[in-house]
Amino acid sequence: MTTTLVRGALIAAVVLAACSKPEQQLESGRRYMSITYTDTTFESFGRTDRAITGVLVESGSDSVRFRIHTTSDQLVSMVDITLHPATSRDERPRTRRIGMPKGTLPLMATSVAFLEQLLRRGHVVGGDSVSIPVMLLGAQASLDVFTMIRNGSDSVVLVPPDGNFTNALHLAVDAQGRILGGVLPLSGTRILGIPANP
């Protein structure tokens, strides 16, 4: 009886220690801008072994803070989003927690933080062409399936459900799968990396 209690206490202590392990910082200070016509959105984010946290700011408009809760197999369990209305609107920030359907990844416009999570999941699944269920976040969230096609080691194309390559997002990536830049030919949208401050 005593041995069983000691073993139980030891197992509980080991599990508690494993669960209370602090997040390990993997990246910080990543910065990008996305330009569509005359609209420019700035993004910065960092990544730990459990989440990706960042902010999207559109000049003169609302800003969005996000925390993408990731899993060990590069899926996403949920996303926390806080909308900070532009100061001219004199409104309070609004926060939402969005649960992800099993096997589905979130996507928010051309946010690099969200796009890179798709690339990491595609790498786990494997293959040069991978179909990935996606939830497009926004006022009216929708579910779709995008196809990720690798073109060698430095290029990825994210093809929308209609299969139209002129509406596909073309991404340049480095050896670690980080996005260097991108273009969406149909709208002329460009994603540009912003160098870190020296």
What CATH number did the domain enclosing 159 receive? 2.50.20
pLDDT tens figures, 172-192:
999 888 999 999 998 899 999
Distance CA 99, CA 26 (A): 24
> Does residue 8 form part of some domain?
no
- What mean pLDDT is predicted for residues 73-100? 88
> Does residue 14 form part of some domain?
no
- The pLDDT of residue 118 is 95
Scan for tokens 């290029």, then name that residue.
155
Distance CA 131, CA 138 (A): 22
pLDDT tens figures, 96-148:
999 999 999 999 989 999 999 999 999 999 999 999 999 999 878 889 999 99
**Mean pLDDT of the chain, nearest integer:** 88
- The pLDDT of residue 140 is 80
Distance CA 55, CA 44 (A): 6
> Does residue 9 form part of some domain?
no
pLDDT tens figures, 139-176:
788 899 999 999 888 999 999 999 988 899 999 999 88
> Does residue 125 form part of some domain?
yes
Q: Can you give the three-state secondary structure of 85-102, one letter per residue? A: CCHHHCCCCEEEEEECCC
Distance CA 167, CA 14 (A): 50
Is the sign of the CA dihedral 28, 170, 108, 126 positive or negative?
negative
- The pLDDT of residue 91 is 81
Strand ranges for 25-122 from DSSP E: 25-36, 39-48, 51-58, 63-70, 76-84, 94-99, 105-107
User: Is 15's pLDDT higher than 50?
Assistant: no
- The pLDDT of residue 141 is 82
> Does residue 76 form part of some domain?
yes
User: Is 29's pLDDT higher than 50?
Assistant: yes
> Does residue 198 form part of some domain?
no
Q: 120: closest CA among 35, 38, 27, 184?
A: 27
Number of domains present in the structure of the chain: 1
Kindly give, in sequence order, each residue whose CB lies less than 8 Å from that of residue 134, ignoring residues fewer than 6 positions away: 104, 105, 106, 107, 118, 143, 144, 145, 146
> Does residue 39 form part of some domain?
yes
> Does residue 119 form part of some domain?
yes
- The pLDDT of residue 45 is 97
Cβ neighbours around 14 below 10 Å, total:
10
- The pLDDT of residue 53 is 97
The tokens for 33 are: 């801008």
Domain coverage including residue 90: 23-193
**8 A C-beta contact, residue 138 and residue 130:** no
